[in-house]
Structure 1
């Protein structure tokens, strides 16, 4: 029995873990209390993105098929010579040359991963299971390069502190392999010999069954980024094993093939048997993507002219990456379905009509508030206007009709757009643009037939010869044939009639007609006096002024007038159509802010207005003043802006010390006033007054090392002070 002064019973309840409420992605699309509309919009958005992704990958495979097939043929040819031990491989062995493919992919570096992934998959399927890719960032030294190749080929791991490789699950489970090409050679012989002994007479189902000695393909993804010394040493070592090891290199080059000569000396490059492969240009790739994804009526989601121009400008002036262009398209798609509740109607025809019939009252009110629908209501009769403003059922029926008209408009629009581009793309100086996207952007923003470029293009078309006109009209007719609408079928048939009439023109009749026009010249051969000669010349001059048009010219003008009528009828901007907001995304500013960031402007704004970024109202100051309570870097930056092209370092630091001392409440008459700390004071005392900084060039004019000086002055507790100059460079 235990005796104590007090007794008590204490209960400790276990702490309950707060359950984190998981939010589904589709919940972010919810519009108020209506979650069904949000989930439906998310489902449509997801299906459209899957279609974009699938079509883009398929298109990428089609475009890169030619160059990948050429690469495979080169590798197979090199492999077959090694298998047969032919004279060609014998020559390579005697010269210690390694078969090398220089693959020039262009400066669109973000797209290279897709190409190399496709190449690796094709190699493993049809040529060799021993294909490995390496990057410069993981191969800073020769040891790292060999280590990565061995790990990915042999399935091994290497401890950072050991020189050997511990094999895990590989063909030699009980041995340790050194990090060297010799170990790779020994492993390759063991694997190929073991497979040849264990699978004699079996059906050829794998690459190893077909080829007894498949090659080892090493792909250098970013060849320019590799250290020259690492590449040189690696190639020299591999050349010594080429008689026993069927090595093949693939160099991924972004700039020019001459970079091989820049990185490798002749003594090393001579060890490579190089063959050049050129990929399709990224601009052609972009044109194909736009043609398949944007300039089609099958894809319901559309971009406005300004949005498409932003994406194209980012492509042309930043990275040339088609992959990033598609990501920008994905962002526009996601933002459209997230911010536009009526985007539930942006889907296939049958689904859109069903969704329009199932619209709720709040969504019908949103339809009435659309600017395009309001303009449509204003053009109707008074009785119809009352129905549109009061009856939800009638609005739903009208929406179904307008959605059908919108789809017909897109089918006719893209057909006439391609027709006009085929006519004008070969004209001198390309008045309507060389690429169809340029004509498309112009047509989205305004009436293209009202521009001066269109007038000049039509004038040039009226000068075409018969053969050129027939060829261009035939292209236009072929482009209008696939269109399913009645108007385009009728237009295609009419163009065919013009072509037949042009081909049936009698050229001899045209020559006779021209001779008849010039027949008054025969009167000059007769004897006449001065009066009759003057009269005859005046008649000839008048006949030239009033020269009659030939049948070809009349028919040519008639055909071009017909095409001009088609353009004016079907290339109207989509903003004039009701319910265009359902399908078109027009927030170009949002895309520009998220895709085309300006870090320098943001940094300078943060330094100039710290109150906005720190959300502190006390840091607000009037224009031209410096707050003593602002961060040090902001004080120095504002003092830096007060100087001209040259800044005196001593005066700059004196001004900074004065502002900071005032914030600390020091007496101006005291000895410590103006001295921030002992380190800064000692360094400040040693700075000559003549040390000035050229702000335009971001470098000191005197002998003092500015970088070392600023580090010594503003190094406080391990935190570095960063100075941003007004030039292109940042300190």
Structure 2
């Protein structure tokens, strides 16, 4: 797959060239391979023509088919780029929102540390220019250091986090230098490490790179009133000796040159003790911060790109299980999850003849887009669409573009309602540590459908179920059952909060939302809730078994009822 001119260079993580087949066959292979693989795939999937003489079509018909094939191949390629661009921007927005809380904490820590340093002493420019540190108390020579625990099994997920953190701090006025673990190697030593730091701050690095050069730069008017932040994103991979030497050197100058460290830690907060000498550790003033867990980030991504119809692209149960197992059982990285999702997306657009219609979701007037595109479809592809089981089983179809547009619009509404119910289930289950990806896997499992899709439902909806269901799994509703059980034993105040969130998710489903409001009305205020909670606690203490409050049972029954529709 050829990238757009503005795209970043392909890397091993995002290069899906071997798997993406929207390109035409190479010219050198024209003698042995048909000129359009996509056309052959579509033809193989279309119903055979009732005309036995169709194999002897005129050459101009073949040429027209070839032209149509190339046109729709290009449309699917364009659709892939647009849909994936929407998904990628959604991913970036979600991760940025999750990280923003940490970024604000780091910025607040920087500001407080800088104020503390300035409270000790504020040397004049002449003092800063002196080629030796100030003589101050030992405590004042400790470098403020934020240890950020990322909890990531692999460093690849941390790259984006610390890149965005650097941008956040820099936009707030801080001076930034970002050092990789490779720059803290024995091979480069302290000289190579410090020179790399200077190159990111000074426009002209002297031949002899020492701290006095940094001091001269810092005392310039435009640099003086802001701290210098040195970000080390992968502490565990650094050479402890080289890092320790840098710490010892800069600690002597911390009053003159307020340099602070931000160090990323993937494993435990004890990592610095294993890496640095006790002498170097004593020169650090630590602050411990924690990034959201990979599971928290995964839940947010699943909600934004899989549960909510952000771009009209769905994945099957088989693909969902692959993504889930790969994430939890292997490297546990968001990056690998996104790469696998991109591969699934590219495969969808390369194999599905009508997949380019997904672009309608991104259009301001999706109905007009779908109507125009479907009207322009060749007759053979229109027949292919209406020959699908979901269309042949539907009633009162005129086989017109209006039928297809109506079906697609209804599908969007059904997807939105389905998403709302799934989010309600997750809101209840997360209090029992149930992951959204686990619930999603069960929700898209065709073996766990409790009711067959009605013939009266729109043709595209059943097409979606059949085309996206993938391979079947024999697993039961383990996580959904866990959610139902968790609801029955939620504390009253937690249950009321769950109902409040449900009322937000179900705004587009008035009939069900009315039932939620009816349950909410059973308790008037927080005092009544606490009184009810105490009443049921007293009853359960004096009874046998695990009795549950009537409200909990009603909520569980309501969720069970709406998941069957």
- 1:150 is matched with which residue? 195
The aligned counterpart of 1:231 is 243
Rg larger in structure: 1
Q: Deviations over 1:211-260 (max 9, x none)?
A: 62533322222111112222222323333343543322222111111111
TM, length-normalised to structure 2: 0.69
Say which of 90, 110, 118 aligns to 2:164.
118
Deviation, 1:471, is: 5.3
CA distance in 1, matches of 2:284, 2:491: 54
* Structure 1 length-normalised TM: 0.54
| 1:504-529 superposed Cα distances (whole Å, 9 cap, x missing partner) | 99x99xx9xxxxxxxxxxxxxxxxxx
Indicate the SS of the match to 1:302: coil
1:568 is aligned to: 564
- In structure 1, the residue matched to 2:404 is 399
Stretches of structure 1 that go unaligned for 5 or more consecutive residues are 1-23, 157-166, 197-207, 388-393, 512-551, 570-731
CA contact (8 A) 1:83 1:213 kept: no
The aligned residue for residue 40 of structure 1 is: 75
Q: Corresponding residue for 2:518?
A: 497
Aligned to 1:286: 298
Alignment partners' CA distance in 1, 2:212 and 2:263: 25
Instruction: Give secondary structure in 2 for the equivalent of 1:256.
Output: coil
Q: CA deviation at 1:354?
A: 3.1
- Given that residues 93 and 242 in structure 1 are in contact (C-alpha distance below 8 angstroms), is that contact kept between their aligned partners in structure 2? no
> After superposition, what is the alpha-carbon deviation per residue over 1:484-516, rounded to whole angstroms, capped at 9, x for unaligned?
xxxx112212332344357699x99xx9xxxxx
CA positional deviation for 1:275: 1.3
Which residue pairs with 2:15 in the alignment?
none
Is the contact made by 2:428 and 2:486 (CA closer than 8 Å) also made in structure 1? no
Q: 1:143 to 1:368 in 2, by over 3 A?
A: same
Q: Which structure's relative contact order is higher, taking Cα pairs within 8 Å and 6+ residues apart?
A: 2
Post-superposition offset of 1:437: 2.3
Give runs of aligned pairs for residues 242-261 of structure 1, distance below 5 A.
Answer: 242-261=254-273
Structure 2, unaligned runs of 5 or more: 1-19, 25-36, 40-65, 123-133, 452-475, 536-548
Task: Please give the residue correspondences for 1:501-516 in structure 2 after superposition, counting only pairs within 5 Å.
Answer: none
Tell me if 1:266 matches 2:300.
no
Q: 1:545-596, CA deviations, whole angstroms, 9 ceiling, x for partnerless residues?
A: xxxxxxx95x987775554332211xxxxxxxxxxxxxxxxxxxxxxxxxxx
Aligned counterparts, 1:656-695, within 5 A: none
C-alpha spacing 1:90/1:283, structure 2 compared with 1 (3 Å): farther
Aligned to 1:611: none
SS in 1 for 2:207: strand
Where in structure 2 are the equivalents of 1:321-336 lying within 5 Å? 321-336=333-348
Q: How does 1:415-564 map to 2 (within 5 A)?
A: 415-426=420-431, 434-445=434-445, 446-447=447-448, 453=478, 472-481=498-507, 483=508, 488-500=509-521, 561-564=557-560
Q: Distance in 2 between matches of 1:463 and 1:97?
A: 50
What is the total number of aligned residue pairs between the two structures? 445
Q: 1:154 to 1:413 in 2, by over 3 A?
A: closer
Rate the CA distance shift 1:375–1:155 in 2: closer, same or farther, 3 A.
closer
Partner of 1:139: 184
Q: In the alignment, which residue of structure 2 is the partner of 1:109?
A: 155
2:88 matches 1:53: yes
| Matched residue, 1:679 | none
- In structure 2, what is the equivalent of residue 374 of structure 1? 389
1:15-26 to 2 correspondences below 5 Å: none
Match for residue 355 of structure 1?
A: 373
- Do residues 190 (structure 1) and 216 (structure 2) align? yes
Cα distance change on mapping 1:90 and 1:314 into 2, 3 Å: farther
